[in-house]
Amino acid sequence: MTTVASLDARLVRVPLARPWGADVTSVGVIATHLVRSDGAEGWGFSWTPQIGGEAVLALLQHDISAAAVGRPAEPGAAWQAMWEHLHEAGGGGITTIALAGLDLALWDAAARAAGGTVTDLLGPQRSSAAAYGSGVNLHYPLEELVAQAERWVASGFDAVKVKVGKPEVAEDLERLRAVRDVIGADRALMIDANQRWDLDRATRSLEVLAEVGPAWIEEPLRADDLAGHAELARRLTATSRLPIAVGENLHTEYRFADFLAAGAAQIVQPNVVRVGGITPFLRIAELAARHAAPLHPHLLPELSGQLALCLPDVAGVAEPLVEDVEEAGFGSLGALIDPSPVAIAAGRVREVPHAGLGLRFR
């Protein structure tokens, strides 16, 4: 049996070309390197924009590395046992983010040892996947937001996403009207409140913002508020039928199951790193399929794009959309040793030749 021989980790701070806010000018990548007992190597990573990078690194160095050595190196084989090993420090959050560094390296090593890519292991279901233009843009002046929307149109995106949550909903409406004017009536316009509202404010705001025909509302309430999301979904079903999208801040398949079972989410957006890697991401995808809920992976297009190519079609369910935050891809930021494993053009994500996951960090 091939086992894990060693796992190393280091913290890389990647400067953002377009800051996500005054205090978010870079993102933290915890790059991992794994060696198997047969000598095969794999590279993975954990990720957190601003908070917790050092904590994730410490968890990998002090708790995950030693516990992983000697365990099976087959992708997914040791995930549950490792999660249970870490559970004393929490079932999700820092623990699952850190665990992704191991899981991704295992998948990368397996693909490289087989002489192919991770999509080869998973089985591609489509040659390309749709992408949408996105941005962390609530702090943008109106003119800059409009210019961003113009770039999205010029890039060929059929769908775009804009942040909402200004102190006055009238300003959100003004900004969304301007974006709608740029993108036209035929492109989808998604809105993301990033947990800024409470239940009543979300209800009132969405009544106003319905004018621009949003395709979904993302994280309207605190991500932990299951009951609030369920009640908001009930209110929206009675009025606009606007679907609620959540998932970037849910960390386990159990929380996704809770939200889907309660009718608190109609769209799920797992972040492959925050849930612990490809292994749990695939479980969440199966769960979403059973509930006939669209799954659109959150951020990390170089990784999410590869997974979107491998997600099976579900009858009556929209295909996955890959989020492309402007000027935030690892390739465009110069963070990778090799060329990006995916290319995004004309609103589509396609794989380009690479080995494994194709994500080795400088």
- Which CATH number, 3.40.50.2000, 3.40.50.720, 3.20.20.120, 3.30.420.40, labels domain 120-351? 3.20.20.120
pLDDT at 146: 98
Distance CA 108, CA 114 (A): 10
Average pLDDT across the chain, whole number: 97
pLDDT at 217: 98
pLDDT at 229: 98
Instruction: List the structure tokens of 189.
Output: 């316009």
pLDDT at 18: 87
Other CB atoms within 10 Å distance of the CB of residue 357: 25
Domain ranges of the chain: 4-115, 120-351
pLDDT at 104: 98
Who's near 234: CB < 8 A, 6+ residues apart?
263
pLDDT at 123: 97
- CA–CA distance from 303 to each of 259, 269, 284, 331 (Å)? 25, 14, 16, 11
Taking phi first (over 0 means left), then psi (-120 to 50 degrees means alpha), and beta for anything else, what does residue 271 get?
A: beta
Q: Give mean pLDDT, residues 306-323.
A: 95
Q: Are 228 and 199 in contact (CB under 8 A)?
A: yes
Q: Give mean pLDDT, residues 343-348.
A: 97
Parallel, antiparallel, or unpaired for β 348-351 and 342-345? antiparallel
- pLDDT over 90 (residue 125): yes
Instruction: Tell me, yes or no, if 163 is annotated catalytic.
Output: yes
Instruction: Tell me, yes or no, if 161 is annotated catalytic.
Output: no
pLDDT at 23: 84
pLDDT at 349: 98
In this prediction, what percent of the chain has a pLDDT beyond 90? 97
Instruction: List the structure tokens of 298.
Output: 């959150």
pLDDT at 321: 98
Angle 169-183/142-154 helices, nearest 10 degrees?
Answer: 30
Give the amino acid at 107. Answer: W
- CA–CA distance from 201 to each of 137, 171, 176, 189 (Å)? 21, 14, 18, 21
Distance CA 194, CA 135 (A): 12
User: Over the stretch 148-199, which tens digit does the pLDDT of each residue have?
Assistant: 999 999 999 999 999 999 999 999 999 999 999 999 999 999 999 999 999 9
Task: Report, in angstroms and rounded to the nearest whole number, the Rg of the chain calculated over CA atoms.
Answer: 20
Fold category of 4-115 in CATH: Enolase-like; domain 1 (3.30.390)
- pLDDT over 90 (residue 30): yes
The single residue of 163, 251, 296, 354 carrying the catalytic annotation is 163
Q: Residue 70: CA atoms inside 13 Å, Cβ hemisphere, count? A: 2
The single residue of 161, 296, 298, 354 carrying the catalytic annotation is 298
pLDDT at 15: 93
In this predicted structure, which of 11-15, 16-20, 204-208 has the lowest mean pLDDT? 16-20
User: Over the stretch 66-124, which tens digit does the pLDDT of each residue have?
Assistant: 999 999 999 999 999 999 999 999 999 999 999 999 999 999 999 999 999 999 999 99
pLDDT at 21: 84
Greatest distance between any 2 Cα atoms in the chain: 62
- pLDDT over 90 (residue 200): yes
Provide the CA 346 distance to its chain's centre, in angstroms.
21
Distance CA 30, CA 194 (A): 24
Other CB atoms within 10 Å distance of the CB of residue 188: 17
Q: Which of 305, 244, 308, 299 is nearest to 273 (CA)?
A: 299
Give the amino acid at 150. Answer: E
Q: What distance, in Å, lies between the first and last C-alpha atoms of the chain?
A: 32
Q: Which helix (H) or strand (E) holds 6?
A: strand 4-15
| Alpha-helix residue ranges (DSSP H) falling in 91-225 | 94-113, 118-122, 142-154, 169-183, 199-209
Q: Are 345 and 324 in contact (CB under 8 A)?
A: no
Q: Which of 216, 291, 218, 307 is nearest to 253 (CA)?
A: 291
User: Over the stretch 256-276, which tens digit does the pLDDT of each residue have?
Assistant: 999 999 999 999 999 999 999
Evaluated on CA atoms 338, 341, 342, 343, the torsion sign reads positive
